[in-house]
Amino acid sequence: MKRLLLGLFALGLASHSYAQIIKTEQLKEVVVEAVNYKYLNQLDNSEAAIPVQMLERKVAAYDVTKQNFYEDDFDFYTVSFYIPEGKIVAVYNPQGQVTRTIERFNDVALPRAIQESLLKRFPNWQVSNDTYKVNYHESKGVKKSYKIKLENGDKTMRVKMTEDGEFL
């Protein structure tokens, strides 16, 4: 019985030693292209709300050149992206680069700079509604603004602010 157990034990150890042989294979070369890195870099949406970041990344990752409607003859392609919180209308050139966008999001989380500015200037007011707008143009840059509706009891007020918390 002892010999049988020792034999099974030795066989078990021997079978695992064959599993340690590593086969090496040559993998195909992978090329990663960031076509719309300029769009994402100029937006600098690190403090933006999660839905905003998600949709802007979808716009940057969208490849218009691989779509059924793509033809080299057109000067630009307009594509709309929608989520419940907002939408982005993006214009792509024939190479697939984002040249312009119009973005609008409703009731998204406000950046800390805006929250602090509102609290400092309007301490007893509550934010009831906000709209975040972004206009991106390849040569003109990015223009971001917030339209905010404030309430204090039965009083309402609308303010317009930049992303840095400055009132317009």
Sequence-separated (6 or more) residues with CB below 8 Å from residue 3: none
Average pLDDT over residues 10-37: 67
How many angstroms separate the CA atoms of 32 and 3, rounded? 59
How many angstroms separate the CA atoms of 75 and 132, rounded? 29
Q: What is the pLDDT of residues 25-76, one digit of tens each?
A: 777 776 665 677 777 777 777 777 888 888 888 888 888 777 777 677 778 8
pTM recorded for the entire structure: 0.70
Q: What is the pLDDT of residues 79-111, one digit of tens each?
A: 888 888 889 898 888 888 888 999 999 988 888
Instruction: Give residue 163's pLDDT.
Output: 83
Does 147 score more than 90 pLDDT? yes
Instruction: Give residue 40's pLDDT.
Output: 75
Q: DSSP for 109-163?
A: PPPHHHHHHHHHH-TT-EEEEEEEEEEEETTTEEEEEEEEEEEETTEEEEEEE-T
How many angstroms separate the CA atoms of 88 and 81, rounded? 5
Spans of all domains in the chain: 34-161
